[in-house]
Chains A and B, each alone.
Chain A
Amino acid sequence: MAHPRALRAVAFAACSLPLAKLGVDAFSGGLGANPVEAILNRLGFWTLTLLVASLAATPAHDLLGLSWPVRVRRLVGLFAFTYATAHLVFYVAVDQVFDWRVLWADVTKRRFMVVGFTAWLALLPLAVTSTDRWVRRLGFTRWKRLHRLAYAAGALGVVHFLWRVKADRTRPLAFAAVLAGLFLARLPAAVARARRIRARAQPMAARPRPETATRGRGAPTST
């Protein structure tokens, strides 16, 4: 796991597996009697799974001292966005075949659809700004703040799933529990970090904070 390229290759392969399985099943009858429904459900499931996995990287580092999840977080997050986009496009283009009356009603009348669509919208700027260039352009602090939207997207995705099921809430509630756990796991480190910053800021409270000023803008980079 030491070699970063090998690590990324393994992560790429792992994230592609569900898609590959979908392809194999589609050709072998493994999607059952309603393949359209099966594909939608699987794409949605893997969106949430990968999104939650990408959110586990920071707690894995803070609590377990693991650094490799952080190194593949971007890749996993982009795969989550890929699955989310495939889920959305498949619904619009294949399930509903661009039936605009249905799609319009979905976004105006059906809250579970609104929530799902909003989750995808929340992921969109994260995918766009996922490059190193964008980290520099926004400055790390602002970039990081923006990317906390991933939590909102995860929560919206879970609500979308919860409101979608008819009666058996086991799976969406399992996602909700994991997401809540990951959020709580972040708290101790976040509190400690906030305390450190405050402690450092106090002696020089009168002066502008140099650390955030330079890091926040990312100005001194090239042009």
Chain B
Amino acid sequence: MTRNRWTPDLREADVTPEQLYLRRRSFLALGAAGAVGLALPRRARAEGPTGPALPVARRVEQAGGETPTPWDAVTTYNNFYELGTDKGDPARNAGTLHPRPWTVAIEGEVKQPQRVDVDTLLRWAPLEERVYRMRCVEAWSMVIPWVGFPLAALVKRVEPTSRAKYVVFETLLDPAQLPGERRPVLEWPYVEGLRMDEATHPLTLLAAGLYGRPLPAQNGAPLRLVVPWKYGFKGAKSIVRIRFQEAQPRNTWNRMAPDEYGFYANVNPEVDHPRWSQARERRIGEFFRRKTLPFNGYADQVASLYAGLDPRSLY
């Protein structure tokens, strides 16, 4: 029952399977496996994707054909501390963030530094749908159909200098829009970074959409990073600054707890988090945990980036 390998033509949001998923897990959660015949009215909260459809040039399925996690779950179960620290807070507080107008500063070791409107930036390359697995460091995971374009396209366009070794991403710092920043839970603004070869890897996505629609605020509107072979916290949300630099940046969670969150944060079932095992994960919508795959299942595409490095140091 943990396998849901649909044929690829069924992977898009298909209302009936979503409801079956939700209904199944909610009654299993009570351990009432005997109550199979119960026709339970599910609370009327399941909403489909909302917002204008984004122009998607092509679709790339890279989650082994698994059914995407329902929109409802992807948009109500979020880690975005700038909108609150409970999983449901970001969806509840989403209204405070205004993703338009939005300017992104591209700066540092580039020949074309600039401040660019997000809608202009999103025309720099054709938008693609990418279905990726997303593995959180907290040992849960989802399958998400993102819309965006490879970060490599942006990197190429702004022409990094030879001194550019790392790319740094910064989230908006504005407590009026992101009320979670009023409390010093983390060091604000949120900062994440990638090595240049990670940033230009074809899997690395600059995402602006979800399920074919613009990103909801709680998912990091209007622009976020998606690096599917790393733990979810690497995916900086609501990005206002992309900086190219020579020195390795210290990412926010690494500053917070260096023994628990590293710079690389590659998904690795062999290296436990100090407080829990990373060997298994719970796919949202499933009841039993499943095995976590090295590099979140993308090892054949990315393991070569880390040849010669001790994998145990890459947590």
Contacts and interface: CB of A to CB of B under 8 A. Distances in A.
Nearest to B86: A168
Contact of B287 (A36, A99, A112, A163): A36
Contact of B282 (A29, A31, A34, A168): A34
A219 B73 CA distance: 62
Contacts of B76: 32-33
A30 interface: yes
Interface in A17-36: 23, 26-36
B272 interface: yes
Chain B, interface SS category? loop
Given A167-B85, A168-B81, A35 B272 contact: no
A170 to B, nearest CB: 8
Contact of A97 (B42, B85, B288): B288
A105 interface: yes
A144 B29 CA distance: 39
A163 B29 CA distance: 26
A169 to B, nearest CB: 8
A94 interface: yes
A36 B28 CA distance: 10
Contact of A163 (B45, B85, B275, B288): B275
Interface in B243-276: 256, 272, 274-276
A29 B43 contact: yes
Contacts of A39: 29
B241 interface: no
A30 B26 CA distance: 8
B277 A102 contact: yes
B165 interface: no
A113 B69 CA distance: 30
A91 B288 CA distance: 12
A36 B73 CA distance: 14
Contacts of A110: 274-276
Interface residues of B, number: 40
B232 to A, nearest CB: 13
Interface in B56-91: 69, 72-73, 76-77, 81, 85, 87-88
A94 B275 contact: no
A27 B186 contact: no
B185 A30 contact: no
B230 to A, nearest CB: 17
A37 interface: yes
Given A33-B76, A94-B31, A102-B277, A168 B26 contact: no
A110 B272 CA distance: 11
A163 B274 CA distance: 11
B26 A34 contact: no
A164 interface: yes
B42 A29 contact: yes
Nearest to B69: A33
Which of B27, B30, B69, B81 is most buried by chain A, counting CB atoms within 10 A of its CB? B30
Nearest to A22: B30
B26 A99 contact: no
A35 B276 contact: no
Contacts of B309: none
Nearest to A93: B31
Interface in B2-56: 22-23, 25-27, 29-31, 40, 42-43, 45
A195 B87 CA distance: 51
Contact of A26 (B30, B69, B287): B30
B77 A33 contact: yes
Interface of B: 22-23, 25-27, 29-31, 40, 42-43, 45, 69, 72-73, 76-77, 81, 85, 87-88, 138, 140, 183, 185-186, 256, 272, 274-277, 279-280, 282, 284-285, 287-289
6 contacts: A28-B43, A29-B43, A32-B77, A36-B282, A101-B277, A168-B183
Given A23-B30, A33-B285, A34-B140, 7 more contacts: A27-B27, A28-B26, A28-B40, A33-B87, A34-B87, A94-B31, A102-B279
Interface of A: 23, 26-37, 39, 94, 96-97, 99, 101-102, 105, 109-110, 112-113, 163-164, 166-168
